[in-house]
Amino acid sequence: MLFQSRHPLESKIGSGSSIRAVDHLEIPRSVAIATVLSHPDETAAVVAGFAAAGDLVMRNVAPGEWLVLSHIERSDSLERRLSGLLTDIADVVDQSEGRVLLRLSGPNVRRILAKGVAIDLDPSAFAIGQSVNLRCGHIAVNFARSGENEFELVVMRSFAESLLEDLLLMGREFDLSYGFSGGLADPD
């Protein structure tokens, strides 16, 4: 039997906006995501392990807890690889199906996000590469700055529709466009 995978925002987004605006909400269809839980006193070793792997994106969640993202690996191979990499120093849980990544970019995204996010988004206070868990509107997300004017939100799957609707409302002022990566509105 061949089972089909369906993105949780499939029916909400469809082909997305017809025109890509300067401020855009992009949803990559497939991202491998895993929770990594460090064993006691192994935090430094885990961080070193990530660094050695080179190509993994780490997101801070809590002391000794991270979300690890990969845009190239499949979820099962990421989980396997991390488990191998972090044997005896951390536990790894696949969350690829339980989390959804949304990427906001454009000159006005800070103003859009300030409608839901309480932290200071000035680069002096929240630099590129920084990541935290926080509250966007009513919803808990993992939040990262991936560029001067680019942010990534990782949200629990069941909240993804509501977060999308909230972000579109927040972005209405700037005609925020949206779509899956590689969709009609996406020039890549």
Partner 1 sequence: MTGYRLPNSGLVDRAATLEFRFDGKRFTGHAGDTLASALLANDQLLLARSFKYHRPRGLVTAGVSEPNALMTIGSGARTDANTRATVAELYAGLEARSQNNWPSLKHDVGALNNLLSPFLSAGFYYKTFMWPAAFWEKLYEPLIRRAAGLGRAVLESDPESYEKCWTHCDLLIVGSGPAGLSAALTAGRAGLRVVLAEQDFRLGGALLSETTTIGEQTAPAFAETVLSELGTLPNVTLMPRTTVFGWYDDNVFGAVERVQKHVAQPLAKLPVERLWRIAAKRALLATGAEERPLVFGGNDRPGVMTASAIGTYANRFGVAAGKSVAIFTNGNAGYRTAEDLARQGVGITAIIDTRADAPSRSAEALKDVRIIKGAGIIDTMGGQRLNKLVFERSGYEEVIACDAIGMSGGFNPVIHLACQRGARPVWSVELDTFVAPDVGGGLSIVGAAAGRYSLSACLADGAEKAATIAADLGFAATSYEAPAVGEEVDPSFTALWYVPGAKSKAFVDFQNDVQARDLGLALREGFGHVEHAKRYTTNGMATDQGKLSGVNAAGILAGMRGVSPAEVGITTFRPFYTPVSFGALAGTARDMHAAPKRVSPLHGWAERNGAVFVEAGLWYRSSWFPREGEKTWRQATDREVLNVRENVGLCDVSTLGKIEVFGSDAAEFLNRLYCNPMAKLPIGKARYGLMLREDGIVYDDGTVSRFGENHFFVTTTTGLAAGVLSHMEYCAQILWPELDVRFTSVTDQWAQMSIAGPKARDVVQALVEDDISNKAFPYLSAGVVTLKGGLKARLFRISFSGELAFELAVPASFGESVADAVMEAGRAHGICAYGLEALNVLRLEKGYVTHAEFDGRVTPDDAGFGRMVSAQKLDFIGKRLSTRYGLTAADRMQMVGLKPVEKDKTIRAGAHLLKEGAKPSTINDQGYVSSASFSPVLDHDIALAFLKSGRERYGERIVVWDRLKNEETVAEVCEPVFVDTQSTKLKV
Partner 2 sequence: MASLIHCPHCGIRPKEEFTVRGDASLVRPEPDASDEAWHEYVHIRANPRGRTREHWQHLYGCRRFLVVERDTVTHEVYSVTDGAAAARGGSR
- Residue ranges binding partner 2 (CB under 8 A): 61-63, 65, 118-120, 132-135, 140
Which of the ranges 20-28, 114-122, 127-135, 141-149 carries the binding residues for partner 1, by CB under 8 A? 114-122
Which of the ranges 46-54, 108-116, 141-149, 180-188 carries the binding residues for partner 1, by CB under 8 A? 108-116
Q: Which is nearer to partner 1, 19 or 55 (CB)?
A: 19
Is 27 a residue that touches partner 1 (CB under 8 A)? no
Per DSSP bridges, beta strands 24-27 and 177-180 are parallel
Q: Which is nearer to partner 2, 34 or 78 (CB)?
A: 34
CA separation for the pair 22, 44 (Å, rounded): 40
Query: Which one of partner 2, partner 1, none is in contact with 135 (Cβ closer than 5 to 8 A by kind)?
Result: partner 2
> DSSP letters of 86-128?
TTTTEEEEE-TTTEEEEEEESTTHHHHHTTTB-S--STTTS-T
Query: Which one of partner 2, partner 1, none is in contact with 132 (Cβ closer than 5 to 8 A by kind)?
Result: partner 2
Q: Calculate ∠ Cα 116-121-126, nearest 5°.
A: 130
Please identify which residue in 35, 70, 131, 177 interacts with partner 1, judged by CB under 8 A: 35
> DSSP letters of 12-34?
HHTT--SS--SSEEEE-S--EEE
Q: Which is nearer to partner 2, 116 or 183 (CB)?
A: 116
Is 148 a residue that touches partner 1 (CB under 8 A)? no
Is 94 a residue that touches partner 1 (CB under 8 A)? yes
Q: Which is nearer to partner 2, 28 or 98 (CB)?
A: 98
First-to-last C-alpha distance (Å) of the chain? 33
Please identify which residue in 24, 170, 180, 185 interacts with partner 1, judged by CB under 8 A: 170
CA separation for the pair 120, 156 (Å, rounded): 23
| Contact status, residue 176 vs residue 103, Cβ threshold 8 Å | no
Is 117 a residue that touches partner 1 (CB under 8 A)? yes
Q: Which is nearer to partner 2, 19 or 118 (CB)?
A: 118
CA separation for the pair 31, 70 (Å, rounded): 6
